[in-house]
Amino acid sequence: MITLEGIVERIIFRNEENGYTVAKINSTDGDLVIVGSATILKTNLKYKFTGDFTYHNKYGEQFAFIEMEEIMPEGEAAIINYLSSSMIPHVGEKMAERIVNKFKDETLDVIEKNPERLLSVEGIGKKKYKDIKEALDRQYAMRKIFLYFSKYNLPAAIILKIYKEYGDESIEIVMRNPYDLIGRVRGIGFKKADEIAESIGVKKDSDFRKIAGLKYALMLANRDGHTYLPLDKLIRASENILGLKFENTDEIAKTLTLEKNFFVERDGENYNCYIARYLAAENYVAGKLKDLNISFEEEIDIDKKIIETERFREIELSKTQRKAVKEAINRGVFVITGGPGTGKTTTLKVLIDIFESMGKVIKLAAPTGRAAKRMKEQTGRDAFTIHKLLEIGFAGDIGFSNIEELECDVLILDEVSMVDIILMETLLKSIESPTRLILVGDKDQLPSVGAGNVLSDILKSGIIESVNLEEIFRQSEKSMIVKNAHLINKGEMPILNEGDFFMISERGEMKGLEIIKDLVKTRLPNYFNVSEADIQVLTPTKKGSHGTINLNKVLQDHLNNNEEFIEILGKKFKVGDRVLQTKNNYELESRVENEFYQDRQKGVFNGDLGYISKIDKENKKVTVIFDDVRSVEYNSENLDELAPAYAMTIHKSQGSEFPVVVIPLYRAAPMLLTRNLIYTAITRASKAVVLVGMSEYLVKMIENNRTVKRYSNLAEKLRRQNEIIGK
């Protein structure tokens, strides 16, 4: 074994999943490339590496290390570099210089043993000192935790998340039950938790491990959109995860019923296995929709009201639209569905006009900020996200908290296909009969990202009255986007290279990337007189040359020349970057400030789109503007919740609308090449669609009308509720 020391100049590659790192260091032997597992390696810091030289056929000589440790810097220049390298918050290069000028070679001793002496440094007041001291205390605790978990090859970002979840008790809690990490710490699945469990002596066939495998299988099912799994499906999924066979299935059902947060529901001769939270939501939604689904007998002439509104708006409703308006006024719960150009917005405008003439208080809502913004623009009335409308917080396993009753006579919810069972339960808890609930959506779009099949199940039940708008209106007939969406929905090929719908055929994936780069930066802005921000690349997949991971890297390099950036946890963020929130965070505060008013609210949600407006390198903070008005400040602890959004998956684009959409058509998993995926993608565009790639993949998507079955029982429970009423 050889030991050498060096300063890390550049991290060439880092796999955030397993910590494998390739870096360039400056050592006494000159510049070297090192390779190995390094969870906490940082640039500009000095380390001691233990390992051996190896030779790579392609990359030449490398030093493969198996152990590393940080060496405290010596000399004022080195200490300044160390302090300003993101090790201590609120300390940038200028502040580091002031600290070192004050304490010289004693600096590191002062910081570790007498940090209160920092108060004597110009620019460090009581508040900044308090923040620094708290961060230092965390670092001392974290250092122990980092060293402990590093032996499991966990990346630094994951260890940081463990510490955020469990604090100073991280080691004790994880060693007691490593499987507790699953679902609590993003980035740790069953495999990694299982490695830790094996290291502390948990046997492969232990009941403890089997239960963990069953729970994990059901958790994965929820992530895939299922509210439950039949017992036989759950057992098969668990056996694949565990690598063993279950003998007594009845015993498993009994065991699961005794487990906290689990529930096994008898369905004839079968068992349906739920995480209890989803069963409670499904039952509540079915019962509440039944309670709300009453008939109204308003003392008004609805036909006369419709005629008056048509005259006022200078429109003429179709027969189906007229039926939708009348039924929505007469029913407690009503569903309006339809594809693009079929008049959903016009129908809503007429409904709103009539309800307002009746003196009704109306609230408008949608699942995402962008969908709510679009609803407001289309109707001319205020519309809110469900979370903002209800002003709700989050209370961990029990779901949402502080849900108060909405004071309204009519609640109209748009983009219902995006609403999962938990969010629908939350919304329904806020309204009581005789409030009318009008649900609006496109039944042919992708289902919600979260668990449940709410819109589809409501329609399938046949219990809630609905109208599907099918006629394409004259003003929409000019749009090839609308025409082609309906052709695709019927299983027919779209009309290409006409009007606002184009396809550029290119079989080479690398050439396809170059075409997309040129389209987004030059050709489309010039042709359609739009900005780069108006153009969104939507792709079926995350992986591959045309997946979001690679596309975002390529497009960031091509579109954003801003030299102001910050690199944290292996991600580079630049001022001007388009970014996407990737998980619900109910604690992040957003601010709206202008000359007329100020508004503060908590919560930034999965799918929110924004752009980076400011980077504070001194304090390692990034400011993001969402929906063009909401300002949110991120720090190094929650920046991992942001992802670049020059390219998005089609699923993530639900509820959004973009002037121009570019869609690459290349290799992807067969389950992603489906009709409703391409239909959803093209219906996100308002001005133009450009397909780039191979026409055979477009044909495959249109021909593939198979949808992955979602296990959800809302439709059946609605029918049962109706049977109870009938009796």
| Annotated binding-site positions for ATP | 341-345
Q: Cis before residue 494, ω within 30 degrees of 0?
A: no
- Nearest Cα to Cα of residue 89 among 566, 563, 562, 565: 566
Instruction: Find residue 52's DSSP bridge partners.
Output: 64
Distance between CA atoms of residues 436 and 111, nearest Å: 62
Distance between CA atoms of residues 32 and 52, nearest Å: 12
Q: What does DSSP say about strands 535-539 and 647-649: parallel, antiparallel, or unpaired? A: parallel
Distances (CA, A) of 294 to 361, 434, 436, 439: 18, 8, 9, 15
Binding site, annotated residues:
341-345
Single-letter code of the amino acid located at 563: E
Q: Looking at beta carbons, which pairs linking 350-354 to residues 24 or more positions away fall under 8 Å?
A: 350/306, 350/309, 350/310, 350/313, 350/315, 350/317, 350/321, 350/325, 351/325, 351/412, 351/438, 352/379, 352/381, 352/412, 353/309, 353/312, 353/313, 354/302, 354/305, 354/306, 354/309, 354/325, 354/329
**DSSP E strands, 285-379:** 333-338, 362-366
Distance between CA atoms of residues 332 and 324, nearest Å: 13
Alpha helices by DSSP H, 574-690: 675-682
The torsion angles phi and psi of 597, rounded to 5 degrees, stand at -160, 165
CA 724 to chain centroid, in Å, comes to 39
> CB of 272 within 8 A of CB of 263?
no
SS3 500: coil
Cα four-point dihedral sign 150, 154, 160, 162: negative
CA 248 to chain centroid, in Å, comes to 38
Helix axes 675-682, 695-703, angle to 10 degrees: 110
Distance between CA atoms of residues 412 and 349, nearest Å: 11
Task: Measure CA of the first residue to CA of the last residue in the chain; give whole Å.
Answer: 81
**What's the token pair of residue 126?**
């009581």
SS3 438: strand
**What's the token pair of residue 269?**
């001769």
